[in-house]
A and B are shown apart, each in its own frame.
Chain A
Amino acid sequence: MKGIQRVIVSNKRVKYQFELCRNLTVIRGDSATGKTTLIEMIGEFYENGAASAVNIICAKECYVLSGRKWLSDLQTVRDSIVFIDEGNEFVFSNEFAAAIKDTDNYYVIVTREAIPALPYSVDEVYGIRESGKYGTLKQTYNEFYRFYAMPERGLPVKPECVITEDSNAGNQFFSAICDKNNIRCIGAGGKSNIFHQVSQVLGLIEGPIVVIADGAAFGAEMERLVNLARLWENIVLYLPESFEWLILHSGVVSDKEIAEVLSDTSNYVESSEYFSWERFFTALLIKKTDGSYLQYAKRRLNTSYCADKIAGQILQDIGWIEFG
């Protein structure tokens, strides 16, 4: 499945309207916002159709997955939007991640607990909020809102320390930039280590600590990091989709199609092919630079990207971080 999926679920009393932009969406937030009611209504419509008195408007079938036979049930579901309520512990298993990885479904999971095995985006974690009443039936209208809001910071930020996600090309690029400017740069050795790394340097560094990670797959880490950033003002999070997205977005690779893809990514990423947009952007950059002097490899950064002109163009997008 690809593209933005618009979903409207309603009965006489309540109406939900939302859009799903990619394969993995997480819903969390306060109690009593209607998360379980939404899932129940979708399940009732699936079982009973119009006789449920629930109405669903969506181009795809909406299905509720639950219970001990989730794996065999899932194998029968194709090209659908799969909703999973909290209380289904299987979503935290590696087995579940493996089972949904190459499927052509979108998944909407209700949970406050992080799911490290799933590469969901920081932008696809939502809460539900009431946004008004409809008509004479006093139908309550609910919408999704982006759950994670970045704490505001005075700009520009001049980092004393930069922490990156891993030791791949992104870390090699920012290490090179930081080396030139006498800024400490730490590769966390994986996204799940970033919280530990930030905690370690918190007491040692008073100036800005800038965390740079791939937002496209950072959803499971977001709660811990946002909490740190809310409580310590010198922590700044910069979470582009990925380092490859940053390069593509900077314009250093001249290709007409790139701008189109970046402005309408949902319509280009087939969920059965790419588990996260991070992987899609990597594949796109490798394809678009193949055979050129900017030929990209994720493991080892092509040094052309560190040349002053190219690096400057890449960093233009994040001018609010002053490396120099």
Chain B
Amino acid sequence: MLHIVFGRLPEAVFNTAVYFKNSYEDSWITDDFAKRAILDVDKSVVLGNGVIDSPVLGKIAPNSLSGGVKTLILIKNEPERIFNASTCGDNCAKWLLEIGRLQDITINLRHIMDFGSEPFAIHIVNTDAVVHNMREMVLIAGRYV
């Protein structure tokens, strides 16, 4: 399930780009989830050797992926750690929901991410409530961000 802590959380990794740069493994980039997320969010293709083909920047290393995708990859591969997911734009929301369907993850949001108009189940840690749509989420999140 996807668990969210809204507002400042000192124990969360705030600068996810730095953390990613110093911790990522090649296998994280070439797995199926990462390939699909990179294609969807960054419009880029992961080549066989882990190099990424970006339509704007050309051939790039994983460090040059967008901040949002790097954070998604961290959340997927280090589920025991809490990351600042406000480095992710709304175009990452569906991928956070997908990771949450596969495993238990807790993220820190310092803004109100738009999880779309379809129903969802997200546990808000601050109030220990499960919300199912943006109306329910906004009324709680707005108290903390």
Contact = CB atoms under 8 A, between A and B. Distances in A.
B142 A33 contact: no
Given A31-B69, A32-B41, A228 B56 contact: no
B57 A13 contact: yes
A199 interface: yes
A33 B89 contact: yes
A223 interface: yes
Contact of A199 (B56, B114, B142): B142
A32 B43 contact: yes
Contact of A31 (B41, B114, B138): B41
B51 interface: no
B111 A112 contact: yes
Given A86-B87, A196-B143, A224-B142, A231 B134 contact: yes
Given A32-B43, A32-B68, A231-B134, A87 B56 contact: no
Interface in A24-40: 28-37
A148 B111 CA distance: 14
Contacts of A29: 89
Contacts of B43: 32
Interface in A222-237: 223-224, 227-228, 231-232
Interface string A210-245: 000000000000011001100110000000000000
Nearest to B42: A32
A114 B111 contact: yes
Contacts of A19: none
A113 B87 CA distance: 9
B97 to A, nearest CB: 15
Interface in B7-56: 14-18, 41-43, 56
A195 interface: yes
Contacts of A228: 138, 142
Interface in B97-114: 110-112, 114
Contacts of A31: 41-42, 66-69, 87-89, 91-92
A87 B20 CA distance: 12
A140 interface: yes
B61 interface: no
B145 interface: yes
A29 B89 CA distance: 6
B15 A34 contact: no
A149 B110 CA distance: 21
Contacts of B134: 227, 231
B145 A199 contact: no
Contacts of B56: 13-14, 34, 37, 140
Nearest to A202: B139
A114 B110 CA distance: 8
Interface in B129-145: 134-135, 138-139, 142-143, 145
A89 interface: yes
Contacts of A36: 17, 66-67
Nearest to B136: A231
Contacts of A28: 89
A87 B15 contact: yes
A224 B69 contact: no
A32 B40 CA distance: 10
A30 B90 contact: yes
Contacts of B90: 30
Nearest to A226: B112
A36 B135 CA distance: 31
Given A31-B66, A87-B18, A113 B142 contact: no
Nearest to B88: A31
Nearest to A88: B15
A54 to B, nearest CB: 13
Interface string A1-45: 000000000000110000000000000111111111100000000
9 contacts: A31-B42, A32-B89, A35-B67, A36-B17, A36-B67, A86-B87, A87-B15, A113-B145, A232-B135
Interface of B: 14-18, 41-43, 56-58, 66-69, 86-92, 110-112, 114, 134-135, 138-139, 142-143, 145
Which 4 residue pairs spanning A and B have beta carbons closest together? A31-B68, A30-B89, A32-B66, A113-B110
Given A30-B89, A112-B110, 8 more contacts: A30-B90, A31-B89, A34-B56, A87-B17, A111-B86, A112-B89, A113-B86, A140-B56
